[in-house]
Structures are given as C-alpha cells and as structure tokens.
Chain A
Amino acid sequence: MRGGKAVWILLGLALYAFVLFKAWQFPQTRLLPYYAIASLSRLIMTYFICLAFGLAVGIFAAMNQRAGDIIIPLLDIAQSVPVLAVFPFAILFIVPVFGMTTATVIALFMSMAWSIVFGVIAGVKAIPQHMHDMAAIFGLRRMAYIKHVVLPSIYPPLIAGSILSFGSGWYFLIASEYITYGTTTYHLEGLGYYLNLASFHYANLWMSLAGLMTIAIVVLSIHHLVWKRLDQNSKQARFLNLHFGYEKGFDLPLHHLEQHPHHRVHFNRRHAHQWFFNLFKFNPTVYIIALAIALVAGFIITWTMGEGVIYPPLEVLLFLLLSASRIALAYIFAFILAVLAGYLLIRKPRTRRYLMPIADVMQSIPAIAYFPTLFLLLVSVVPVWLGMPVASILLLMTGMLWYMLFNIIEAVEHLPHDINEIADLYDIEGVAYIKNILVPAMFPALVTGSILAFGGGWNAIIVSEYVTYAGKVYSTPGLGSAMNYATINVGNTPTLLMLLFVMTTTILLLNHFVWRRLLNRASKYVLEDE
C-alpha cells in the first residue's frame, strides 16, 4: 500500500513536470511558486480573521441565549447569500477606498467564516449539561469556564469547520483574484489570476493544466501536512467527539474509513444531529424582519440609482426556473453517484483503493478552477449548443458530489455494526441494501449533505452558465448568466442587486420550507447508539 502510494505520487509529479515544460513558454508559468505563495498567504490571513470572528461571535451567540436568537438567524441569512454575486459589490464599494487586497479578503471572509462560526456554535451547544453543572459546582466561571471547558470542547468541530472553510476559501480565491466589472478587470496576482489568464487570455490547455495541478499539489500538501494531522488529533478520545452535519463536505478527507475502522468513544453522539436541527429551529421573526429590510433596501437602491433593471419580472422568473431545474438535475445525478459510491465503499471495500485516491485528488481542485478547461475539452467533442448546458450541469454536479459523498461516508463510518450484520445475516445486497438500509440509515446525513450541496449549487450557478473562453462568451440562459451579463457587459448595479435578492430569497425560502422540514423528519431517523 505504501509503495503504491509513492508510485502514484511520482507519476503525478512526472506528469506535472511535463505539463510545466509544455507551459513554460508563458512567462507567468515561471512565477507559479510566487503565485502559490501569494494566494496561500491571502487565504491564511483571511482564515485567521475568520477564526477570531468565529470564536468570538460563535461562543457569544452560543452561550448567550438572547444574543443567539438574533445572531444565529443573521448568520444563516449571511451564509445564504451567494458569495460570487457579492464580488462585484466588493469591487464597487471597497476597492476604491481600501484597495483590491482588502476587497479580496472581505469576499473570502464571506465564504470562509460560516463553517467555522457554525462549528463553534454547534460545539458549544453540544457541551453536556453535567459539564455545565460540574463547572458551576467547582466555581469555574466566565473566562475560566471558556478556557477549561469551552475551548477544548469545540476543538474537534472547530478543526472540521476549518477544513471546510479552507476548502471553500480555495474555491472562491480562484474567482476573487480576477474580477470583471463592466469593461474593467480587477486582478490580484495569484493562482486564480494565473488560471484565469490561461483560459481567458491565452486559451492554452497546458497552462490551464499547469495551474490546476499546482492548485491540487498545494491543496493536497496543506491538507496532508496540516489539516489531516489536526483532524486526527482532534479525534482522540481525549476530546468530545460529536458529529455534526455542518462540518462535513467539501474538503473532508476520505481516509477516515481506512484509519478509524473501530468504533471510537463518541460522546453523546446520539444528540449530535439534534444540535444541527436545533440550529435551524429559530424564531422566524428575525427572518421576516431581515427580509422586509432587504426588500425595502433593495427597492430604495434600485429606485435611487435610476438606471433601471434590464430584465422584466417574468424573464427573471424564467431565469430562476431554468437555474433551479439545472441545479435540481445536477443534484439528482450527484445524489445517485454519491449513494452508489457510498454503497461500493461499504459493501465492496476493495474499491476503496481506487476510489479514495481519485476522489481525494479530484475534490482538492475547486470546480470553479477546472470549469473553463472542462468546457474547452467538451466543445472540442460536441457542438457548443450542447456542450454549454452539459458543462454547466457537470460543473454543478461535481461541486455537489463531494458534499453528498463525504456526508455519506461519515455516516457510514458510524453505522452501528449490528445493522451490517443484519444485512449479512439475511443476505440483503445490492438494490435491496441501498433501499432498505443505506438510504434510511443515511437519511440525516443525506439531508445535511443536500443542504450543503444546494448551497454550493447556487453559488456555482453563477459561474456555470457563463464562460469567456479565448475572448468569446458562451452562455446558457439562467439567473447566473443574467448576473454575469449585468456585471460584465453592462455594469448594471440595480439589476445585479435585484438578481442577488431574488436568489438569496429563493435560497432562504427553500431552506425554510423544504430543508428544515426534511431535517425535522431526519431527526426521527437518527440511529440510537449502542
């Protein structure tokens, strides 16, 4: 196994050297190490800001009931706003005053902060009652309580949230280093800039590949050298190991299955999903007030800016339906693939050897980064009118797949042994196993994975419907392409605001009416512990 790994790594590096050689003619390729360091330092800086924010706000919101009732819904609204759509506003309002770096950090913050802060909140709220009582009895108050009880308690969800945060950070970093608004392009030198240059400016496949492989190498190295170790450290019996839907997704390593075959001491695990559900059960008042304020503000901005919205309401509705059905279609594919992969991983352990390394490398590259490359490859095979929608759905699907898959894997890992023993005993295999055991047992994980997947989907729709490749624009109608058109071609802020508002409202309504209900139902499916 070890030797096999080394062979793979060597093969990968040889391929990388070849790609670099091919892309060497472009002067920017020689700057790749500098770009990698520049991007990484931006990411690390933002991460520490998010960490400070997450700890301060998360602990406060979780420990103070009243503050939490207001802060948690606001955080939920904030995280529902598609980050990619916020970038033009960052450009518009922040760049002129504070410069491009600040704008990028703020945009990145908008994508990285949530999984950390929700991890912290879930962690604090999951501290068992008897620990509170113990602390009170022995006089641990305020800072002593935070230091001795709270901080160690939230360590595992904090690490898991950080891994997720870093994953989405990479995703948006690619987008944030190269932003077009109207006729102007803003950029910051980094890997995202290099990739955009490769596809938009030079339209060179080797350069794109060089960028993608560099990202994959940096992401994988950081993951294996830093996050994986911290993650394993946090899984020791010395910490409260809770399982939250929130921590899983984009960047969680697949190695858990290999390395934690045994049942760990999972403190109070039964209630873990419950905490995720509780996070979503707040008073709707704050939502209604926030929506009302957004509505009024949206109208005021639209009116005072005077430029007028370029799309009539019916067209916007059509865009919304088109985008939503694209996301739904991608979701169905992702769902089926994830369930199948989950099945193979549990019931046919041999497939792990092939599936895991592939998934590990694939999920390390942000979908947004390979989209232009994927598009280029597709249109070289099929006509553009077919290639564009297919590429769009493929991009959405690959983004969603990881959320689903990693949630499933985490849940599978904690499937009580007796359930699989029942399956073996009564010879339940294949479709019957998927239908009667896998899906019901995975139901809570599937729902949390789906929520994350849809959240990612709404973001990806913005880039998946509109591609500029070699100076030419390819698009397919939908909310995302409309946003891009409003931003890139005409620089129309009211339209952008209106589209952003429509999208955010849709996300919030879906969360409220679809996902929250499913979560409530899922809470009844949570498997009891031994």
Chain B
Amino acid sequence: MEVRNVSKTFTGDTGHVYALRNVSMHFDAGEFVAIIGPSGCGKSTLLRMLAGLDQPSAGAVLFHGQFIPEPNPRISMVFQNFALLPWKTVKENVLLALRTQEMPEQHKEHIANQLLTRVGLRNFERHYPGELSGGMKQRVGIARALSVNPEVLLLDEPFSALDEITALDLRRQLLDLWQEKRVNDTYVLVTHLVEEAVLLADTVYIMSPRPGQVIAKLKIDLPRPRFEHHRSKKFFQEVDRIQSILQKHSNITV
C-alpha cells in the first residue's frame, strides 16, 4: 500500500484549508504501521482515504498499484466508536460483514463462530451490543473486521474509548491475532498514544498538526513479543524519541 504526495483540502469560511499536505507513506506487506500525531493532524482523514471512504484532493492512494475509488473488500476497518448496529446481536453484526462474500452460509457461520471464540465472546453471540462492556464491543469490532479475511486492517484509534486496563488487554489480543495470522497481513493503526505506537508497531509515522505532514518515519526495532519488555529502558528510549519529535513540532499550533 502506498500514499503518494497526498494532499487534502477542505473549503471552509476562510477559503481552502489544508488538512493534509504532501503526505507520502509506504506500507510493506505484513508490516504493523502506526500513524501518530496530535488531534487535527488529519490522521483520521488519511485513514478514511486508505479505506476508500474519501478521496485525496491531490496525489494518490494506491493498493497493489491501483487507486481506491471505493471501499475494497480486501481492506477492513476497526472503528473508534465500535460502529456496531445496536439492533443486531453480536453474531449478526459479524455475519453482516460477511453478507457480500461469496461462500455458503454454513461457512460464514463457521468463520463467525471461530472468530468470536478467538476473541472470547462465543458465549455472548446472542447478546446485543447494548448489553456489552466497551471492551467487549471492540472485540466484536475486531472479530467483524477480521471475518472478511482482509489483507489490510485499518484501526482508527481503536482503544481510545476504553479504559487503560481494558485497552492494554485488547492490545495484547490484537498483537496475538496479527502474529498468528498470515505473515503478509498489514495493520495500519492511527493513534495519539506514543506508548501504544511503540508497543505495537514496526514502523511509526509521526505527523504534525494542521496542515498534516509527515515529520518523521521511525523503525521500532524492539524484539517481539514486546509485552514482556514494555517497561524496559529501551522501550522508554523509543517513547522519548517520538515524544521529543512531537514536542518540537507542537509549538506550530500555539
């Protein structure tokens, strides 16, 4: 997947406003990428373009060398607010994502059951989202996103609506899922939490606030699994490195 010189402008009261300016990124197959930046840096807009939900004003977003004029079945997404339909049960929510897939119904059932078991919600498949905790809802969101067997999984601040204890638990589960799946599955995470980025990602793109630009691209070389080391000195050196870059650029907004 590739983002090539992408700019995005919005027409506001005072004329054109740049949300993103000349952003370029490259994601390798199988990579876990984090895009980090303060609010208003256009990172969510960028993710929407990767999903085919929005189009760049200039430049191109490419998937296997092709434009993404509309959402692609090979690209799936986990939402910040879960985006579960409250009138459908847990299982129906997952099955709805499989609706357009061409396979026998039993096969869809099987996939849904398997993923719900994997995220520990098999016993809750008949519950409505309103009866679940935030963490459980997001696990449904993750199961649903993975059910279509995507090559690219986009994660839009997936844990920011959860408390830190639950979020930590879900990060661990997400990493497990990423590692046990095929090697060339790409995960793209948008976040404003530095430690989350360092814990999860191979590559971190750091973005500046308005207009959103890439100010740094870092490789995180910490050994995996990182959960055992995430209080280590090396871990915090990486965190500090990103923190200082972000701080250097934050005075632009003031």
Residues of chain A lying within 8 A (CB to CB) of residue B99: 138-140, 144
Residues of chain A lying within 8 A (CB to CB) of residue B128: 237-238
Q: Cβ of A137 and Cβ of B80 under 8 Å apart?
A: no
Q: Cβ of B53 and Cβ of A136 under 8 Å apart?
A: yes
The answer to whether B85 has its CB under 8 Å from any CB of chain A is: yes
Residues of chain B lying within 8 A (CB to CB) of residue A144: 99
The answer to whether A105 has its CB under 8 Å from any CB of chain B is: no
Cα-based distance from A271 to B34 in the complex (angstroms): 31
The answer to whether A152 has its CB under 8 Å from any CB of chain B is: yes
The answer to whether A262 has its CB under 8 Å from any CB of chain B is: no
8 A Cβ contacts from B43-90 to A: 48, 51-53, 70-71, 73, 75-77, 79-81, 83, 85-88
The answer to whether A133 has its CB under 8 Å from any CB of chain B is: yes
The answer to whether A314 has its CB under 8 Å from any CB of chain B is: no
Cα-based distance from A502 to B52 in the complex (angstroms): 51
Contact with B along A110-142 (1 / 0, CB 8 A): 000000000000000000101101101111100
The answer to whether A240 has its CB under 8 Å from any CB of chain B is: yes
The answer to whether B100 has its CB under 8 Å from any CB of chain A is: yes
Cα-based distance from A482 to B81 in the complex (angstroms): 57
Q: Cβ of A133 and Cβ of B77 under 8 Å apart?
A: yes
Q: How many residues of A contact B (CB 8 A)?
A: 22
The answer to whether B167 has its CB under 8 Å from any CB of chain A is: no
Q: Cβ of A138 and Cβ of B79 under 8 Å apart?
A: no
Q: A130-B79, A152-B87 are in contact. Are A139 and B130 (CB under 8 A)?
A: no
The answer to whether B218 has its CB under 8 Å from any CB of chain A is: no
Nearest-neighbor residue (CB-CB) of A151 within chain B? B87
Q: Cβ of A138 and Cβ of B53 under 8 Å apart?
A: no
The answer to whether B239 has its CB under 8 Å from any CB of chain A is: no
The answer to whether B97 has its CB under 8 Å from any CB of chain A is: yes
Other than the given A128-B83, A137-B75, A139-B100, 12 more pairs (CB < 8 A) read A130-B79, A130-B81, A133-B53, A133-B79, A134-B83, A137-B76, A139-B71, A139-B73, A140-B99, A148-B96, A239-B87, A265-B130
Q: Cβ of B96 and Cβ of A138 under 8 Å apart?
A: yes
Q: Cβ of A240 and Cβ of B79 under 8 Å apart?
A: no
Residues of chain B lying within 8 A (CB to CB) of residue A155: 87
Q: A238-B128, A238-B130 are in contact. Are A133 and B83 (CB under 8 A)?
A: yes
Q: Cβ of B87 and Cβ of A131 under 8 Å apart?
A: no
The answer to whether A149 has its CB under 8 Å from any CB of chain B is: yes
Cα-based distance from A239 to B129 in the complex (angstroms): 10
8 A Cβ contacts from A228-248 to B: 236-240
Nearest CB of chain B from residue A225's CB, rounded to whole Å:
24
Cα-based distance from A347 to B39 in the complex (angstroms): 42
Q: Cβ of B100 and Cβ of A237 under 8 Å apart?
A: no
Cα-based distance from A139 to B150 in the complex (angstroms): 13
Cα-based distance from A149 to B52 in the complex (angstroms): 20
The answer to whether B148 has its CB under 8 Å from any CB of chain A is: yes
Among A134, A139, A237, contact of B86 (Cβ-Cβ < 8 Å): A237
Residues of chain A lying within 8 A (CB to CB) of residue B77: 133-134, 137
Sample 15 A-B pairs with CB under 8 A, ordered by A number.
A128-B83, A130-B81, A131-B83, A133-B48, A133-B53, A133-B77, A133-B79, A133-B83, A136-B53, A137-B71, A137-B77, A149-B85, A152-B85, A155-B87, A267-B86
8 A Cβ contacts from B80-117 to A: 80-81, 83, 85-88, 96-97, 99-100
Q: A136-B53, A139-B99, A144-B99 are in contact. Are A130 and B80 (CB under 8 A)?
A: yes
Nearest CB of chain B from residue A133's CB, rounded to whole Å:
5
Nearest-neighbor residue (CB-CB) of A237 within chain B? B130
Q: Cβ of A138 and Cβ of B97 under 8 Å apart?
A: yes
Please report the number of residue pairs spanning A and B whose Cβ atoms sit closer than 8 angstroms: 64
Nearest CB of chain A from residue B34's CB, rounded to whole Å:
20
Q: Cβ of B71 and Cβ of A136 under 8 Å apart?
A: yes
Among A136, A148, A236, A237, contact of B85 (Cβ-Cβ < 8 Å): A148
Residues of chain B lying within 8 A (CB to CB) of residue A149: 85
Nearest CB of chain B from residue A156's CB, rounded to whole Å:
11
Nearest-neighbor residue (CB-CB) of B73 within chain A? A139
Among B53, B75, B86, contact of A239 (Cβ-Cβ < 8 Å): B86
Nearest CB of chain B from residue A75's CB, rounded to whole Å:
27
8 A Cβ contacts from A144-161 to B: 144, 148-149, 152, 155
Q: Cβ of A238 and Cβ of B80 under 8 Å apart?
A: no
Among B86, B88, B144, contact of A240 (Cβ-Cβ < 8 Å): B86
Nearest CB of chain A from residue B125's CB, rounded to whole Å:
16
Cα-based distance from A238 to B92 in the complex (angstroms): 13
Residues of chain A lying within 8 A (CB to CB) of residue B53: 133, 136-137
Top 10 nearest A-B pairs by Cβ distance?
A237-B130, A134-B83, A139-B100, A138-B97, A152-B87, A130-B83, A136-B71, A137-B77, A137-B71, A238-B87
Q: A140-B96, A152-B87 are in contact. Are A134 and B71 (CB under 8 A)?
A: no
Residues of chain B lying within 8 A (CB to CB) of residue A140: 96, 99-100
Cα-based distance from A155 to B85 in the complex (angstroms): 13
8 A Cβ contacts from B171-221 to A: none
Nearest CB of chain B from residue A265's CB, rounded to whole Å:
6
Among B80, B88, B130, B148, contact of A138 (Cβ-Cβ < 8 Å): B148
Nearest-neighbor residue (CB-CB) of B52 within chain A? A136
Residues of chain B lying within 8 A (CB to CB) of residue A152: 85, 87
Q: A148-B85, A148-B96, A237-B128 are in contact. Are A134 and B79 (CB under 8 A)?
A: yes
Q: Cβ of A128 and Cβ of B86 under 8 Å apart?
A: no
Residues of chain A lying within 8 A (CB to CB) of residue B51: 133, 136-137
Cα-based distance from A133 to B79 in the complex (angstroms): 9
Which of A136, A138, A265 is most buried by chain B, counting CB atoms within 10 A of its CB? A138
Cα-based distance from A152 to B88 in the complex (angstroms): 10
Nearest CB of chain B from residue A158's CB, rounded to whole Å:
13
Nearest CB of chain A from residue B210's CB, rounded to whole Å:
20
Cα-based distance from A138 to B95 in the complex (angstroms): 10
Nearest-neighbor residue (CB-CB) of B82 within chain A? A130
Residues of chain B lying within 8 A (CB to CB) of residue A148: 85, 88, 96
Cα-based distance from A265 to B81 in the complex (angstroms): 14
Among A130, A131, A133, A138, contact of B100 (Cβ-Cβ < 8 Å): A138
